[in-house]
Every structure is written in structure tokens, then in C-alpha cells.
Amino acid sequence: MTRIVDSADVSPEATIGEGSSVWHLAQVREGAVLGAGCVVGRGAYVGTGVRMGDHCKLQNYALVYEPAELGDGVFVGPAAVLTNDTFPRAINPDGSLKSAADWQAVGVRIGRGASIGARAVCVAPVTVGEWATVAAGAVVTRDVPAHALVVGVPARQVGWVGTAGHPLHETGTPGVWRCPATGESYHERDGHLVPQQGTDPTPSEESADV
């Protein structure tokens, strides 16, 4: 059952998926599309035409500006911001107030299962890959690979994360990483991470973790 509390400001032109919740003082603008089972926390903002997949979570006071696109299962932490203006100005060079016709909105794309930590900022245009994690307070100014863990200002990659969100451990076999929570293994190839197919790690790989 979809739940929109009375104090939320949801445009009648927005589409809210089945089972989604929009909480106190949140705003969802016209043309926004939320998938099934999404949660929009207190004071969060979803801009005009933003598209969110199923089971996304926007925590309190997260700001998602158009034309952002979020895949299924994306987490956006408290007070995180997805921007949309590469060269922000309130006025034009002649001193006149900028209008919508005076700039071009550019969006942030977040892949399936990725997480954006509390008070992190993604400076458009950037893409955060599937299952990646942006640490709390980080400022993302360039694309983040799938499964990457990035921290700092500007954000830099410091490791890899699995689908469970835990940092992956090196196994001792070059290019092979393992999730301590699920036991899943991944291969690193040319700066990208892919799940390992097949059976569990060999005993020699297990001993390398000790």
C-alpha cells in the first residue's frame, strides 16, 4: 500500500509506485517517477522528472535534482545531494536573474544497488556504477566504477565492495577479491570488478585470508 503523509508535497503529475512511502515535509515534483517500494524520508526533495527504480531509499533531507536517474535499490543517505548545474550562477553576466532558459540541467546517474553516504555530494554530470559505495561526506567529481569504494574530497577509490556493501578482502591470488559477509568472490580486470563464476574459492585462496 502506498503511503503519502499529509505534510508531504507530492505533485499530482508525479508517479508513485505501489508500496512506496513519502514522509513528512518531503517534496516530489511534477513528472518524477518512483518505482515500487521506495521510501522518501522527511524533508527529502525529488526534482522534476527524476526517475527512481524499485526499492530506492532517500533518507531525511536528501536532495535529488533533475534529471537524476536512480536504478533499483539505490540508497541515498541523509542530507546527500545530487546536483544538476556544472557552472552554477544566480545571475547572468548582465546582472539579470537566471531563468530556466539560461542554463542546461545535467544529471547524476546511480546504478543498481549503489549507496551514497550521508552528506555526500555528487557533482553532475557523473555516473556512480552498480553496487558502488560513496562514503559519507565524499564529493564525487568523476565517474565511479561499479563496486568501487570511494572516499574524500574529491572522492578517490580506496577499495572495492560487494553486493552486501562490505569492503572486499584480497585473497592472495592476484586480481581475486572476496566478500567477508557472503563469501562471494570477484575478479578485477582492467580496473573493473566482475563476480567470479563457478565454485567456491580453493583452499589455497582461503588460507591467504588468514
Q: Same structural domain for residues 125 and 34?
A: yes
- Cα within 13 Å of Cα(175), Cβ side: 10
Instruction: Tell me the pLDDT tens digit for each residue of 137-164.
Output: 999 999 999 999 999 999 999 999 999 9
Instruction: Tell me the pLDDT tens digit for each residue of 113-144.
Output: 999 999 999 999 999 999 999 999 999 999 99
Q: Same structural domain for residues 156 and 178?
A: no
Q: Same structural domain for residues 196 and 208?
A: yes
Averaged pLDDT, 185-202: 77
Judged on CB neighbours under 10 Å (0-12, 13-18, 19+), 163 is: middle
Which of these three, 146, 161, 176, is where a domain ends? Answer: 161
Q: Same structural domain for residues 155 and 183?
A: no
CATH classification of the domain holding 22: 2.160.10.10
Instruction: Tell me the pLDDT tens digit for each residue of 14-25.
Output: 999 999 999 999
Domain interval for residue 123: 3-161
Kindly report the pTM of this predicted structure.
0.90
Q: Same structural domain for residues 134 and 199?
A: no
Q: Same structural domain for residues 207 and 136?
A: no
Q: Same structural domain for residues 202 and 186?
A: yes
Q: Same structural domain for residues 120 and 71?
A: yes
Cα 189 to its chain centre, rounded Å, is: 23
Q: How many domains does the chain have?
A: 2
Q: Same structural domain for residues 154 and 171?
A: no
**Quick one: CA torsion of 143, 134, 81, 26, rounded to 10 degrees?**
130
Q: Same structural domain for residues 71 and 134?
A: yes
CB 1 within 8 A of CB 20: no
